[in-house]
Homo-oligomer: A and B are copies of this chain.
Amino acid sequence: MDKNKNQSKKLNNRARGSHNLGRLIMQLQQLERHPRTFGEAGALTPSEIHTIDAIGLEHGILMSELADRLGVTKGAITQIVTRKKMKELVKRTPHPTDSRAVLVSLTEKGKDAYRAHETLHQHFYQQLRSQLDPKEIEIFERCIEKLNTFLEK
């Protein structure tokens, strides 16, 4: 009887944990739903800024690698990267040795946008961290890493 009550309470707590995580995901998703301006690039849609973020400051990455990083199809990448607005931000270069392949990298303007987004991102993350105490931060970040590792399998 009492045991059943405790069991039931335990289940309800677990349900709440799952629900809270879902809630956090949803709230974070909604924060980035609208076009925003980063650097001198004009308003960029979420997908555009994610693409710029995934390209990064490297020399150039394959279109297929970019698709992998973003978890979308190659076709989606082609569409994003070749649209008019992105032409100023993303440079496409034939691969040096494989003539099927295309390398993408950021223009100077694209790098500005990347850095501006990074700054905003860090600032926001810092706000999140300021809600937690140092021990909590340490453990939270360790948990995030563990969960990421699990999910990548």
Contact = CB atoms under 8 A, between A and B. Distances in A.
26 contacts: A14-B125, A17-B129, A17-B137, A18-B122, A20-B141, A20-B144, A20-B145, A21-B128, A21-B144, A22-B121, A24-B147, A24-B148, A25-B28, A27-B148, A27-B151, A31-B151, A127-B150, A128-B150, A131-B147, A132-B147, A136-B139, A136-B143, A136-B146, A139-B139, A139-B140, A140-B140
Contacts of A118: 15
A23 interface: yes
B136 A150 contact: no
A29 interface: yes
A interface, over-half SS: helix
A152 interface: yes
Interface string A59-78: 00000000000010000000
A128 B25 CA distance: 14
Q: Classify chain A's interface size.
A: 35 or more
A142 interface: yes
Nearest to A150: B131
Given A20-B141, A23-B148, A128-B147, 11 more contacts: A17-B125, A18-B122, A18-B125, A20-B144, A21-B128, A24-B147, A25-B25, A27-B151, A132-B146, A132-B147, A139-B143
